[in-house]
Structure 1
Amino acid sequence: MGLLAACASPNPEPEASMAMPAPPPPPLPAFYDAVTDEPFPIPAIEPGTLDPRLWRQEVDNPWPNSSYGTIIIDPDAALLYFSEKDGRATRYGVAVGADGFSWTGTARLQFRREWPRWNVPAETIKRKPELERYSVANGGMAPGPENPMGSRALYLFENGVDTLYRIHGGADAPHLGKAVSSGCIRMLDQDVIHLYKVAVHGCDVVVLPSLTGPKTNALY
């Protein structure tokens, strides 16, 4: 009996508790499903890749006195607001300009394009010479899934001059909320199509100044 007692642990270790499985991501709204009635396919947003804070939603407008149609972009929060009536706004998550490429101020929505060509600015070609083949002189990049402009583009002018900054689609869900572009405001294609439909020609587009420090490098 003593020998048996010696072989037994007087205080057996408790069995390791099994780790609880992570809860499934919340289901995405149906408007983030695949879009099948466009010239090019727009895939569904993968569950779990998009922070619910960045989902398209109607909210109280933080700038309730702004005129209907005014677009206000808060780069630090990575949010774009389309001013509705009665102090409401439609809010979208966006990706914003990386440090050194951001732009702030008030511009005018001059025109819009469906499935735009990407005419790479000279400044971008200086940084990435491999994009020379998509310059204005070479006709730009044709529309399609590989074009970083995505399905829609809104063109911003200041005092009648093209700022070269755009609000456009082509964003990947994991990039929303981050600073990844050369100053442009990037949106999910599902969201930019929605904004394109409601946008008001000639409206003010206000890009607030960033109050944070340096951001990440631009993807393009």
Structure 2
Amino acid sequence: MLWELFLEPSNLIFSISLSLMLLFGLIECLLLLIGSSSQGLMEQFVPDQLHEIQGVEADLEGSNLFLTFLDWLYLGRIPMLVWLVIFLTVYSLTGFITQIIFFNFTQFYLPLWLIAPACLIACMPLVRLSAAIISRILPKDETTAIYSEALIGRTALIILGEAKQDYPAQAKVKDQFGQIHYILVEPEIDTTFSLGQEVILTQQTKNGFKAITHSI
């Protein structure tokens, strides 16, 4: 019964998803045995803008809705390979279970063109829930903690929005350990910081930092 369900043409996309999940798991196990991992390669597929959005707790005007949706799915909050395995597993099981229930009532399966997109939409909340649970279980990456004051005097780059006094924009800055931090920056004097402009952090505020124009 299960094998027939797996080979049923109407379930092709779910069979492929489940097979890919098992394949990715096998490849990762083999790489771990030789002291390597696919994690670095997989993370290249996560948009940099997604990390930038996650790096700022405040709501930023003009945030991309698609990136917000990916963030809602916890993409980028857990290792990409783990998220992919969760998605493939949840999607395939959602499809198989739906087909089994429908077959028990009608004695035939839903067509692939209908069931595939329907299950893709239906499984998204379960993918998010599973990823959220896994994110609490997985150990966090070890980082070199620094005090925010240590960033004062460093050069930051405006990466989202336009900064004015009392209207900060998002910027990124590299600390002494080479780690990137995403912060909110506003001018110390009555001026404007534009997208792509480099500024020097001068003092910390309640929500971020004040800065002055970077002198070349």
What range is the shorter-chain TM-score in? under 0.3
TM-score norm. by structure 2 comes to: 0.20
**More relative contact order in 1 or in 2 (CA 8 Å, sep 6+)?**
1
More strand by share: 1
More helix by share: 2
TM-score norm. by structure 1 comes to: 0.20
